[in-house]
Amino acid sequence: MKSLILSALLTLFAAPVLACETFTLGDLNIEHAWSRATIGADRPGVFYVEITNNGSTDDALIGIATPAAGMPMLHETVVTDGIASMPHAMSIPVPAGQTVELAPGGYHGMLMGLTTTLAEGDSFPVTLSFQNAGEVVVNVEVLSLRAEGPDCDDAN
């Protein structure tokens, strides 16, 4: 009975901290991986993350892959003359000694061809491919449709 209660408590409290996990790949720290809930599987999803390069060599995010979408891509929101567009980004620079955010209104992962609706509280893996550091799989937490990002201050 105690293990059942412990499992239930861990389930309740584990999901909100997925986006607050930190993953390390060489000199890169990857954290705050999150997505927004979608209205349905026929609408694209998004992927956001924060990447810190603690090294002395520049790197670049060159691709993403996930079983949650048939066609995941890197995009950048660009506003020209008051009109926003989201062209494909071949890569996202991760300069040495700096932090790059894939965030609303900037660089982001576009998840086209979702395999299922992304529901708040769900999670899915994303493989990040870097030009120099290689690949790392991160857990992505699905937040509410109106989320601005994870609240990691409360998770620690």
156 inside domain: no
Q: Tally the domains of the chain.
A: 1
58 inside domain: yes
46 inside domain: yes
151 inside domain: no
152 inside domain: no
3-state secondary structure of 146: coil
Do the Cβ atoms of 91 and 148 come closer than 8 Å?
no
CATH number at residue 26: 2.60.40.1890
The percent of the chain in helix, strand and coil, each rounded to the nearest 5, is 10, 50, 40
pLDDT (tens digit per residue) in 8-58: 333 334 444 677 899 999 999 999 999 999 998 889 999 999 999 999 999
Domain extent, residue 21, equals: 2-143
Its pTM stands at 0.84
pLDDT (tens digit per residue) in 62-104: 999 999 999 999 999 888 898 888 888 999 999 999 999 999 9
155 inside domain: no
79 inside domain: yes
